[in-house]
Every structure is written in C-alpha cells, then in structure tokens.
Structure 1
C-alpha cells in the first residue's frame, strides 16, 4: 500500500487557498466508544486514497469537543483541512441497554405492540422489507431463545422427576432456564438480538417521541453546531448515520430556527443509511415529522441522502419526508442518491460482504473499490462543498416517495 503523507502547507498562497471545513458526525444507536469511528476513518480513508489516487492524513483534533480528529487532504491539486467531531451519545445508548433479561422481554412485548398494534409495521413493509425483517429479527430470535430454554428446562425436569420418582422433580426444570438465557445474552455479540431489541425499543418506548435525556443531549449538539457557524469555515457539514440521520434532522432544524449568523458558512447535511420511517411512522413522532417538513423546504442548507438497496438495515432510496406523509408543496430536500453497492463494490468485494448485514450498514463510511460519485472521504475532507459536488445532480430514478404513513400530525 502506498504510504500516505500529510499534505504540505508551506507556501502562503497555498495556505490562503486552503479549504476549511467543520464536520459533525452523529452516530446511530451505538454503545461503542467514539474512537472506533476515528480508527475506521483512518483505515478506510487510506484505502480510498490509494484506490482513487489522492492524499489524505489524520492528526489529533485541534478544536474543542468530546472526541474528534483533524484531516488534511490534497485532491486534484486542491488542499483542504477538516476538523471532525463525533457528537457522542453512546453513554445514553449504554444506559438504555443495561436492562435485565426479564426487562428485555418486557421491552419485546411493548415494542411489538408499538409497531404491530398501530399498524406501522405493515405500512413499513410497503416501503422496504429489509429493515422490517431486521426489526422482526430480534423479536423472533429472543422468543426462539426463550423456547429453547424452556424446552431444555422441561426435559431436565422430566429427567429429575423420573430419577427421583416424584413430581416435585418437575420444578427442577425451572433452574436451567435463567442460566441458558444468560448464556445466550453473553454471546449476543455474534447474533445482535439483544442489541437490536434495545435499539428498536428505545424509539418505541415513547411511540416516537424523544426521551428527555436524548432531547437534553440534542440541545447540547445544537449549541455546538451553532457555535461553529461563527467560525472561519468554508462549510459546516453534519453527517448523520442510521438513527443519527433523524437526530440530525431535528438538530439542524433547531439550529436554523434559532437564527443564523449574518455571514455564516454554507450548511450541509449528509444523511447515510437512514431509518427515519422506523420513528416517523409512530404516533407520537410529531417533533420529527415537524422537523422533516421544516428542513425539507429550508433554503439555508444543502441536504443529500445516500442509501443503497444492498443495505438491508436501511430504508434504501426512500425519501424520508415523502414516505412519512409530510412532504410540503415547496419541498426541495433531500436529494436522494444511491451508493449502488453492486456497482461501486467489485464482484469479489460484494460477494464477501453481501450477507454481512451489519457491516454493509457501515459501508457508507468505508472505501469503495469501484467508486462512483459518492466518496465519503472527499465529501468530508475534500475541497468541494456538498452543494457544489451535487449541483444539478438528478435524484435516483428508483427513489420511493409513496406516502404510506398513517400518522402525519406535526403538533
């Protein structure tokens, strides 16, 4: 692999032309420390730079913030520097995942009722079956684990009863059940049943309304982004991945509604692998639906949404505003684009990743060995603003705009 060196910035005239960007990355429902995203960026950016023949390098962060890094790049002769910050809410995620096994099964019942009882699940299936299957997966898997534990316990109880010649031995069958369920939970890093259950339950617990602790954190993010708009940047870019996409919608709506500085840098929003309908289709998601209406017609930013049909965990090519049933007459955003995994990944790479559903959900943040017009690293670290990069770009012909949501209230 070609060694990637930091971009030299010696000449004054070169420094004067240096493109400066502030990037805020909003993760999805992820309990992992944000250093994971820095390492992913470091590794994948080096691979993409070699494939596409440009220079990119990482350095420690130069700005305030909980966690971040700085990137310098030289692409087609243009130099740029980006200060990237992860807007951390992994602690909230970890706290929400600290439930006991019985509490998780109670979550299962409540979450199933929130989506099935309201009819949201069946409407979501009319958009994309992949993310709906992903939503049903933890329910089915956890129920299967419970059935296995009960079956083993029943067999053990019958064996004890036969050996002791007493029906009280059947009570002994209850003993293995908690141990078996704990074993399943201890190995959840292989099947992600508990993780996904907590993920969907977090939104479903309030029927689409943001929990108070999340609203408080979003207010902090809003203040952080607003402060960056007073800085000397050529672009302020917010990236929202997975669940982070719908958080980004609300956060940016709050930033813009509160008022922008007179000479603020261009604001850009890149949503990746969104799962917006999983929240916007719930009854009490009025805050999110109102923000979708506002942001989709807002002239103060550029909003590009990138998904791929190969990502079974996202609502690929679904316009999050239109499918939620709240598209205003003057809708201008988002621009719906496809990352087209089957075309932008080589046949060998696609074969290796095709059935790794969770890895594919993060492909938007990774290198493509057959890149087209979507390059995460050029977008976040290059010298071309998002608005210019996709100016006059037509939306994907396969975008889905069917308004199938039952709940469209925004108040």
Structure 2
C-alpha cells in the first residue's frame, strides 16, 4: 500500500494550557480511536518546530498513513492576558460589556444564531446572581432565629464558601476572560506580538504548500477560527492566486462572529472581505448544542454578499456517536462540549478529529461518507 502523507497545522483557541495539554489529549484520543477502529495509531513525542510551533508524528501503518502534525503556539500570548484575580476580572468585564453594548451587532447575531448571544450575556448575570442568592437565602432563613446582622454575616460567609464552585462549574470565569480578550482584539486589533505571530504562521504554512503531501489541513478550533481567517488572508498575500487542491481549511466550533460582528473591528472586516474572491476549500464543523459555536453560519458571508471558496457547513451530530451517558449536554457541560470536536466518541465518526487527521480518507471523502449517515 502506497503511504498517504498528510500535513496538519493546528491553531487552537484562547487557552493558556498550550501544547503539553493538547499533545496529551491527542495521544489519548488516538488510543481511543485505535481501540474502536482496530487500526494501530502511534503518536510520537513532540519536538520543537521551526517557528513558534511543536511537531509530532502520527503513524497509522494499518491504513498506510503518516501525518506530520504541527501545533501553532500562541499560549504564551494568552498567558500574558489571562486574568486570574477575580476582582480584576470583574472590573475589566464592566468595560467589556460597555464595549459590546456600543459596538456588537446583537440583533444580527441573534438572527444568525441565538445561542451564542445567551452565552455572551449570561456570565455577568450569573457572576452577580449566584453570590447574591447564596448570601440571601441563608440570611433570610437564619433571620428567623438570629439578629439581622448575624444572619447577614452568615449569608456572606455561605456565599463566599459556595458560590465560587458553582460559578466555575458554569464556566463563568473562562467566558468572562474569553469575552474580555475578544473585546480588546476587536477594538484594538491583534497588536504587535500577535500580528507578528500570525505572519509567522502564514509563512510557515506557505512553506509547506508545495511539499510532499497528499493532503494539507489547516485546522482551527474555537477562538483559533477567528485568527485563522487572518492567517488565511496573510497566506494569500504570500501565495497569491488559489490554494492547491489538496489544501483544506477546517473550522471546528467556529466563533468568527464574536469579532466579525463588532462594528469597530474594521481591521477584521477587511480580512474577511479579502477572502471573498479567494479560491480555497473550507469545511466548518460546528455543533448546534454548543452554545459558543455558530452552527451553519458561513464566516465568509459576514461582510460579503458572495464568495468563491468551496464551503461545506456541517454539524458533527455528536448524539449519533456518543452513548447518552457520555454525551456532553446541558449547561454544566458547555465547556467540555466545546472540546468534543477534538475527541472520539463511543463510535468513530468519519469527521471526528482523529479520523480526519490520522485516517486514510481525505476530508472530501470523509464529508461524503458522513452525509450518508442517517
């Protein structure tokens, strides 16, 4: 069997955990895929890439596949703006939501997909209401037997002890950090450090476009789907014309409207408009139950009436591939659901992450097979 050689560039989301976490996650999911499929998938140790990247090799000898997987690193930049102090986070969140109130096209966002509007708006509400309820309910009950001042102190103590756990469980701090960062990104642009990093990523992908690969995937996930569009504009500036036929941009849990629908993000609007007349293959896999993702919202049409890219918009239909007890549904699982794009379910899917990056099928073949599943 002739070896199928694939190159993967992965650009992840707003997450300070970085390459160690994602390399281990890939190893775990590759082992799960191997157990389910019977294919012996091996994942090498990671090594430093030629730029701000890390590389590992994925070997699937049973399918005759070898994948050179390159993780594009920007977690150091995330770490510099990751707010850990809850009081500082609360204060910065005020500016964030003032900015959203002034500049976000919430009406259009709701028309595109109402779920992410709720995801953006519920964190500040819960950040106030959960501590208030955990203080108020015990205080009112204790007021029956205690003086008001003692009942109030007891309520405050109960809130301090219990509310943090529930706020974290409902991923409120992560969403506030995510929203604050993208408020700043929309208003001020990437800044010098991120701008240089995106230039590096585009140049690195351009270097491999004429390499010995049967398929080249540029995979973006979560907030990486926002930056990925800017990388694509830079890639076309370097390359010109159309991408080669074996190149595919893959968006997982796409959140482009978070910045794309800010009226003040004119720099980003220009990036999206610049892609309207560019020929490339784009596959968007976003889940309707994922409250952060924009299922069936084509980012290339946010600021253009038409495009020439070949686009498929898919739901991963996780419910078909997970047993009910393992399916990440419900409010408390929103964070985990947003990472199911990088996992393998209880049954392999043609478009699960390991199938796409370590399996024999090309993306086009996988999409065609996936569409036949009832």
Q: Which interval holds the TM-score relative to the shorter structure?
A: 0.7 to 0.9
Give the deviation of 1:387 after TM superposition: 4.0
2: distance between equivalents of 1:338 and 1:266?
A: 23
CA RMSD of aligned residues (A): 3.6
CA contact (8 A) 1:145 1:181 kept: no
CA contact (8 A) 1:345 1:371 kept: no
1:24 aligns to what SS in structure 2? strand
Give the deviation of 1:135 after TM superposition: 1.3
- 1:409 maps to what in 2? none
Q: Deviations over 1:207-240 (max 9, x none)?
A: 3553303222212212222222353222221110
Alignment of 1:107-256 (within 5 A): 107-118=92-103, 120-144=105-129, 147=132, 189-212=168-191, 213-256=193-236
- 2:67 maps to what in 1? 82
**Larger % of helix: which?**
2
Q: Deviations over 1:172-229 (max 9, x none)?
A: x9xx89xx77996698654432221111111112535533032222122122222223
CA contact (8 A) 2:16 2:75 kept: yes
Give the deviation of 1:120 after TM superposition: 2.0
CA contact (8 A) 1:246 1:288 kept: no
Question: Larger deviation: 269-278 or 102-111?
Answer: 102-111
1:373 aligns to what SS in structure 2? coil
1: distance between equivalents of 2:8 and 2:84?
A: 34
| Cα distance change on mapping 1:147 and 1:346 into 2, 3 Å | closer
1:126 aligns to what SS in structure 2? helix
2: distance between equivalents of 1:196 and 1:364?
A: 18
Q: Among 53, 70, 92, which residue is 2:38 paired with? A: 53
Q: Deviations over 1:41-65 (max 9, x none)?
A: 1111222232233231111246725
2:295 matches 1:295: no
1: distance between equivalents of 2:129 and 2:362?
A: 49
Q: Among 291, 304, 326, which residue is 2:304 paired with? A: 326
Give the deviation of 1:332 after TM superposition: 3.2
Give the deviation of 1:394 after TM superposition: 7.5
- 1:44 maps to what in 2? 29
| Cα distance change on mapping 1:327 and 1:242 into 2, 3 Å | farther
Give the deviation of 1:378 after TM superposition: 2.2
2:58 aligns to what SS in structure 1? strand
CA contact (8 A) 2:47 2:54 kept: no
| Cα distance change on mapping 1:33 and 1:393 into 2, 3 Å | closer
| Cα distance change on mapping 1:97 and 1:372 into 2, 3 Å | closer
CA contact (8 A) 1:229 1:261 kept: no
Q: Among 57, 62, 66, which residue is 1:70 paired with? A: 57
| Cα distance change on mapping 1:117 and 1:41 into 2, 3 Å | same
Instruction: Give TM-score scaled by structure 2 length.
Output: 0.82
Give the deviation of 1:133 after TM superposition: 1.9
- 2:143 maps to what in 1? none
| Cα distance change on mapping 1:291 and 1:383 into 2, 3 Å | farther
**Which has more radius of gyration?**
1
Give the deviation of 1:292 after TM superposition: 2.8
| Cα distance change on mapping 1:271 and 1:359 into 2, 3 Å | same
1: distance between equivalents of 2:214 and 2:180?
A: 39
Instruction: Give TM-score scaled by structure 1 length.
Output: 0.75
Alignment of 1:304-343 (within 5 A): 304-322=283-301, 324-328=302-306, 330-343=307-320
1: distance between equivalents of 2:136 and 2:289?
A: 37
- 1:20 maps to what in 2? 5
2: distance between equivalents of 1:185 and 1:334?
A: 42
Alignment of 1:2-13 (within 5 A): none
CA contact (8 A) 2:5 2:215 kept: yes
2: distance between equivalents of 1:73 and 1:243?
A: 29
Unaligned 5+ segments in structure 1 are 1-13, 164-172, 397-411
Q: Among 300, 309, 321, which residue is 1:344 paired with? A: 321
- 1:354 maps to what in 2? 329
CA contact (8 A) 1:379 1:385 kept: yes
1: distance between equivalents of 2:166 and 2:204?
A: 38
Q: Deviations over 1:134-163 (max 9, x none)?
A: 2122211222366469979x99xxx99979
1: distance between equivalents of 2:322 and 2:224?
A: 25
Q: How many residues align?
A: 360
